[in-house]
Amino acid sequence: MTIDLIVPGIRHADSGNFFLMAGPCVIEGEDIAMQIAERVVSITDRLKIPYIYKGSFRKANRSRADSFSGIGDEKALNILRKIGDTFGIPTVTDIHESHEAAIAAEFVDVLQIPAFLCRQTELLVAAAKTGKGVNVKKGQFLSAGAMRFALDKVVDSGNSKVMLTDRGNSFGYQDLIVDFRGIPEMRSFGVPVVMDCTHSLQQPNQVSGVTGGKPALIETIAKAAIAVGADGLFIETHPDPANAKSDGANMLHLDVLESLLRKLIRLREAVC
């Protein structure tokens, strides 16, 4: 299944490029969210890359209770709707509980299942029943092959608009590693496969309670993913990662996004 069947109306779907899911980790406020959207839309239109704006309306899985989790659900969801309407682009956000599926579906085009929750049957079924696109992130604790069962839960609930996203596997207590064999394996299920180039470089479970990361390797992960056939890339980006309110340690600086995407387009042309 191609991305335009999962996200109807997505621009540049026939360009032959990979698609991009990108934006801030969490909606921090309207001004910064709109600024990021405007920049990325300009870049992806110029490069003819199909684009889905990503922003969590709330972060439910923070390490510490005092970590920033959001500006309020309704306020953040309305910002996501405004971004979609203003720029004419689809949007994606995470859901964490079954009842959130129908709520978020009123505001966005794609519902994302966080990696830690990819086995939660009720959550997957609730997302499926909205009729929206569903992006299921592969658990850090699962093999690529095991994601077939998460996929089946959505499809068997009457929704074939599914994509799967790899974000690495736990490697010890405080690191992740990407097994790139998983991309072609999950693609064999007949759905688009995305590589999460930023979360796969997290260093979780730090003693400080603040997740670390290796953003210098984002380009490496992205290049390898394109080389093995990834259909899309997931990149969290921000104009000031050091001061982002969530996951700044593994974000891509917005200023370098275009140069990276240009390299990846050339790579895709070479390997396809």
Given a contact cutoff of 8 angstroms between Cβ atoms, the answer to whether 71 and 58 are in contact is no
Predicted confidence (pLDDT) per residue in 81-121, tens digit:
999 999 999 999 999 999 999 999 999 999 999 999 999 99
Given a contact cutoff of 8 angstroms between Cβ atoms, the answer to whether 136 and 118 are in contact is yes
pTM reported for the whole predicted model: 0.94
- Angle (nearest 5°) at CA 20 between 165 and 55: 75
Average pLDDT over residues 142-169: 97
Domain ranges of the chain: 3-8+23-271
Structure tokens at 237: 């980006």
How many of the other CB atoms lie within 10 Å of CB of 111?
25
Predicted confidence (pLDDT) per residue in 211-234, tens digit:
566 779 999 999 999 999 999 999
CATH architecture type of domain 3-8+23-271: Alpha-Beta Barrel (3.20)
User: What pLDDT, on a 0 to 100 scale, did the predictor assign at position 240?
Assistant: 92
Question: What is the helix (H) or strand (E) element at residue 31, kind and residue range?
Answer: helix 30-47
Distance CA 105, CA 144 (A): 27
Structure tokens at 72: 């309020």
Average pLDDT over residues 251-262: 96
With bands split at pLDDT 50, 70 and 90, how would you rate the model's confidence at 65?
low
Average pLDDT over residues 162-185: 94
Predicted confidence (pLDDT) per residue in 184-206, tens digit:
999 999 999 999 999 999 776 55
